[in-house]
Amino acid sequence: MRKNILITGASSGLGKGMAVEFAKKGRNLALCARRIDLLESLKQELLALDPNIHIIVKQLDVNEHQQVFEVFNACHEELGGLDRIIINAGIGKGVTIGTGYFRINKQTAQTNFIAALAQAEAAMEIFRKQNSGHLVTISSFSALRGFRRALTVYAATKAALSSLTEGIRIDVMGTLIKVTCVHPGFIRSEMNEKVKKVPFMVDTETGCRAIVKGIEAEKSTCYAPRWPWAWMQLLVRIVPAKYLKAMS
């Protein structure tokens, strides 16, 4: 059992939802995010679920790359080791390419991929030293294909994250280090709260329960919730681009 778990982007959305699900399972948690006030509130909420678990909170901006290494190592020391690290921090901003919003698209690319790379480096340094651990990245169903408008850069960053995760997994294949890439479908969260009509959207609790179930299985990749996304991914990979245009 992975007893000590670190989650980035844990102050809200999927990160917070996963923290709740793992607390219900009696896991110790290191919760990291920029908004320390929200983390402190979450800590009390989780301790109310199980007062016997150990929870530490750390303020972390994943775009401050040196801070990522420092915070991960501090959590490792304070919890007495880390068994699983979940790279979840990310943003959902994005604007159609070529419409004058490079700054926003650049921010999405830096946070969702470069910062994720820093987190993967920091996590794998810890796991390689102890020769064990479970690295988890939270990618997206959108990683499977290119999408238009606001999703163009977002989908590209998630595709890069999925590829990075697979490369790491291949690199440590045959060791005691496990690597999982999660591809969530449409799950209601702070990131998409303004989106009104989306097919197959589930609430945060349902979605995070499915994500945690997938993580616990420790397979190389998973889709959450499994229905319909595990089957939908087969279709999306082969559907002509003109249909993707109509979908997005």
Enumerate the active-site residues. Answer: 154
Report d(CA 239, CA 22) in Å as an integer: 36
Q: How far from 74 is each of 58, 79, 129, 234, CA to CA, in Å? A: 9, 9, 15, 41
Structure tokens at 110: 């830096």
Q: What are the helix (H) ranges across the chain?
A: 13-24, 36-49, 65-79, 102-109, 115-130, 151-171, 204-217, 226-236, 241-247
Burial of residue 22 (number of CB atoms within 10 Å: 0-12, 13-18, 19+):
buried
What is the residue-wise DSSP string for 6-75? EEESTTSHHHHHHHHHHHHTT-EEEEEES-HHHHHHHHHHHHHH-TTS-EEEEE--TTSHHHHHHHHHHH
Of 70, 156, 59, the residue nearest 118 (C-alpha): 70
Q: Is the dihedral of CA 36, 41, 46, 51 positive or negative?
A: positive
